[in-house]
Chain A
């Protein structure tokens, strides 16, 4: 088994936490995991992208080749489109539907959404609303982990315990809220 994911969004949206949760769950299931992160200048409000590779065998490198991703998991629809060249012909794109508009020339959202929908396999999630219901708008990222989880080769249990340990130092309430966000994404 080999599962390659491109994670993307805008700096500050919590893409790294998405990567950390899935990577930790993969490791706890005994898989080999390679996770490439973005730090520094590239992170400041710009497009960010992270490679995450899961496999039951040795993984040669940290980067997913073009045409090699089983999934694009994006917390922003325009950013999902930016990396479609990485997707396998039968790969799936799971993206949040809401735009993060911090550039003056952001295209019409309908156009962006319809382009994502025109991919052979795509799933758009109303992650903003679900995160708000879960108790925090910033939990969009964990809603997206939930939405992706039904496709990932990982169990709900290990993903939830990974999320729990990821947020444990921020207190019980934050953990509960993120688990709720995860479940609402999973059930959406």
Chain B
């Protein structure tokens, strides 16, 4: 098959399609979004053997929808960012106990360096926690190849398999070679219920099975072509043993030509850890350097408690940068190599240019009326949530006081109101509301909490590039009324300067009400609008 220049994310998508993918579900989240976007685009072509691809309300529903398709014997892919896996943790952990016949592959994209995230948690811990294999590509080609392998591995072991991506690979483009596509699995519902009904007695048996599979998983890691050992020419004892995982290999290779001591190099792309290979490396080296993209996960495993048999350098003793992304320069430093000759130039003091709301963004108008109300109150709390509107934290708006995780605005507001604080407001986007806000609002209704929820409805998932919100904007008031918020305390207003004073008045009135109220501020995202206009203009030509 011919070469195609693909993002790491797109290579995963194509790998899944060529592995006979039947269904894909996910929730948008940087840096994972482009996997599903590629699959959605590809699904438009139609045809007999085309896959299903759908955005879901959140990562948990996505995972469960995929499990339903796997129960029918189909191959399924679930996509999300690292923190999304926290939301999907319940089905994810339990899926490891199921008797998987239709391959289940979870593509999860971590964000070391927090380019677009609220933490840099390392999903490999989750794979280990669930006791399933994890494949970690280092190039777009591997992203394609490993995704194909992951489906085979999932069906061979009857467990879900994780593909762990990171931002740099997800969002870097290179040409890949694809191979012959495979047909989809036929519809073939799981036989016998014992493997899919996790009642305690049956779950115990399934857990025994899962534990029993570990030996085979480790064996497959030992044999895996993704775990490669490069020994020094004389293949004797080396001064240095290097273990790389993930993108660390690329940055190591970038610098390896300049290493003056003899070294052996083990790269690990498939876990659980190939214990024998690691042992071989340790036995043939005087000291060890562990380079892994993410948290010091392998390093902790190897160090154990006081395993002082050999000197080990890594993130835990500060030889490798602990936080943020690896790059060719910090790996160079870890290898003890001098900095490359660079330009001797002082650019002077440069002001930062942080991300900010687009010009004309509707969120600005929403925050402006909230800000005016807040400025006239002695005490108030404004919680906020995950999305573009989190940028309202920065000057000049500086309105939200909390941004924690998807949906937390409403639930935290309830907690604050019930702690006795007056004038509590929660700011949440329309898509985030469907993701994790609904349940918090039900809690508010149940206890008649004095919370005013402001849903900033820009009718899109803006931060991730303008995916459609699950339900059309017009249905939002009905959903809220259905959850039990009294109709007289639901307001739909425009996010526009010209109705600023009216919006101020409504918010003041609702803050005086001792119960839950919702103000929906509506105006389409300017970026989504611009794209629509451009697309229409392109189509007209």
Contacts and interface: CB of A to CB of B under 8 A. Distances in A.
Contact of B33 (A11, A39, A65, A107): A39
Contacts of B174: 32-35, 59, 62
Nearest to B390: A41
B341 interface: yes
Contact of A11 (B347, B355, B538, B541): B355
A172 to B, nearest CB: 7
A169 interface: yes
Q: Is the interface of A mostly helix, strand, loop or mixed?
A: mixed
A170 B175 CA distance: 24
A153 interface: no
A106 B388 CA distance: 24
B329 A102 contact: no
B541 A171 contact: yes
A82 B173 contact: no
Given A41-B116, A88-B342, 7 more contacts: A37-B7, A39-B31, A44-B388, A45-B355, A91-B343, A107-B350, A120-B343
Interface string B451-481: 0000000000001110000000000000000
Interface stretch (B95-103, B247-255, B311-319): B247-255
Given A45-B358, A89-B343, A102 B388 contact: no
Contacts of B327: 63, 65
5 contacts: A37-B7, A40-B33, A44-B358, A89-B343, A103-B351
A164 to B, nearest CB: 15
Contacts of B250: 60-63
A5 interface: no
A41 B355 contact: yes
B35 to A, nearest CB: 12
A61 B340 contact: no
Interface in A100-158: 102-103, 105-107, 111, 115, 118-120
Contact of A102 (B332, B353, B465): B353
Contacts of A103: 351-353
Contacts of A105: 351
- Interface on chain B toward A: helix, strand, loop, or mixed SS? loop
A178 B185 CA distance: 46
Interface of A: 10-12, 23-24, 27, 32-47, 51, 59-68, 78-79, 81-82, 84-89, 91, 102-103, 105-107, 111, 115, 118-120, 169-174
B339 interface: yes
B168 interface: yes
Given A37-B173, A46-B353, A61-B251, A67 B115 contact: no
Contacts of B391: 41, 44
B235 interface: no
A170 B343 contact: no
A172 B541 contact: yes
A92 B349 CA distance: 21
Contacts of A46: 353-356
Contacts of B538: 169-171, 174
B253 A47 contact: no
A60 B256 CA distance: 10
A33 B343 contact: no
Nearest to A170: B538
Contact of B342 (A47, A85, A172, A174): A85
A107 B168 contact: no
A24 B354 CA distance: 30
B534 interface: yes
A62 to B, nearest CB: 4
Contacts of A43: 355
B142 interface: no
B348 interface: yes
B5 A33 contact: yes
B66 to A, nearest CB: 24
Nearest to B5: A27
A66 B340 contact: yes
Contacts of A27: 3, 5, 175
A52 B269 CA distance: 25
B9 to A, nearest CB: 9
Nearest to B248: A61
Contact of A119 (B173, B345, B352): B345
Given A40-B30, A65-B329, A33 B350 contact: no
Contacts of B172: 34-37, 51, 62
B357 interface: yes
